[in-house]
Structure 1
């Protein structure tokens, strides 16, 4: 049951009371996403958080040359949203797309506010999740400006061990800011150790 997986996720931070679990079930929506289907497109205002029950999502931008730049992946028991668009209510500059057929549970912004006001545990849980993601993004930014491509790839493997065999080279290379050909060279070098 997808919503039960979401409840289990929250229980690992602060165990939910029965009333909180019931509210979570009532105020979230399950959605099946086909491979390559968008959850958010550039120009749309983001209005929800997405919890991945099954599958994998990617968040990316596309530059003026049509090149895709992957910012983040989210697989089972991970979240994805465009926080900037969600809270500013301005059009997103990002896409969120399914890399694999996926099942997600969505929390709309208005329901999120309801949880924050009526059930303080959710406010704390989302704050901790956001803080953890911020720390992860700071670390990634520092890596991008101070690490070699091989070091970034090894860190990708450490951060996403469950995705390295599920994502095509093009997706991983885009995330690392290198070409797929260069990623192949790095993989061969690591395998030859």
Structure 2
């Protein structure tokens, strides 16, 4: 991963943070000093299973895919992270245990990263950041539970329609294969759903 710096990247993360907490100029500078910049080329891996997640990632450019592979070799996509999204493996990051996920760049991507050490220091230096990250994690958990329930109670077509409604800006940036892996169906079945919807 190449290291880079970008004023617009920091502007984006400060805007993200401001949805939940207000920062002084001094606090912004401290937060900025605890972040590291990184990038990944298309198809490059940011994380592989068996590695401990050293960072939480905030995407400032591009698209990352978080997924696992089952014993039959099938991909199961947990999320797509584009600009203004946080991503990573929360359990691996918090517990510092090996991850079970891949994180792969679907486009040339850039991100800001915070290490576990700096994450803990941030809470000591600016305690209100605990409220910010608590909101981030609560939203992540809520989305996970909602997706699990939808997988049980909704049809594939309904799940696809929800994805298009919730993430219209992502749908045209990913392949049919990746979207099918997110929905838990085959690319062929997704093609049938799309064909059916286009005729309605």
Aligned match of 2:195: 188
Question: What is the alpha-carbon distance in structure 1 between the residues aligned to residue 43 and residue 27 of structure 2?
Answer: 34
TM-fit CA distance, 1:51: 0.1
Question: What is the alpha-carbon distance in structure 2 between the residues aligned to residue 116 and residue 158 of structure 1?
Answer: 35
Aligned match of 1:95: 102
Runs (4+) of structure 1 exceeding 6 A deviation are: none
Question: What is the alpha-carbon distance in structure 2 between the residues aligned to residue 114 and residue 107 of structure 1?
Answer: 11
Question: What is the alpha-carbon distance in structure 1 between the residues aligned to residue 14 and residue 138 of structure 2?
Answer: 20
* TM-align CA RMSD: 0.9
Written as runs of structure 1 = structure 2, the 5 A alignment for 1:160-179 is 160-179=167-186
The answer to whether residue 57 in structure 2 is matched with residue 46 in structure 1 is no
Aligned match of 2:71: 64
TM-fit CA distance, 1:121: 2.0
Question: What is the alpha-carbon distance in structure 2 between the residues aligned to residue 36 and residue 179 of structure 1?
Answer: 21
The answer to whether residue 31 in structure 2 is matched with residue 24 in structure 1 is yes
Written as runs of structure 1 = structure 2, the 5 A alignment for 1:74-85 is 74-85=81-92
User: Cα deviations across residues 89-130 of structure 1 (Å, max 9, x unaligned)?
Assistant: 111111111111111000111111111121122110000010
The answer to whether residue 128 in structure 2 is matched with residue 159 in structure 1 is no
Q: 1:5 aligns with which of 1, 5, 12?
A: 12
Question: What is the alpha-carbon distance in structure 2 between the residues aligned to residue 110 and residue 43 of structure 1?
Answer: 20
TM-fit CA distance, 1:191: 1.2
Unpaired runs of at least 5, structure 2 = 1-6
Q: 1:150 aligns with which of 135, 153, 157?
A: 157
Q: SS at 1:19's partner residue?
A: helix
Question: What is the alpha-carbon distance in structure 2 between the residues aligned to residue 88 and residue 109 of structure 1?
Answer: 10
TM-score (norm 2): 0.94
TM-score (norm 1): 0.97
Aligned match of 1:116: 123
Query: Is 152-161 or 123-132 further displaced after alignment?
Result: 152-161
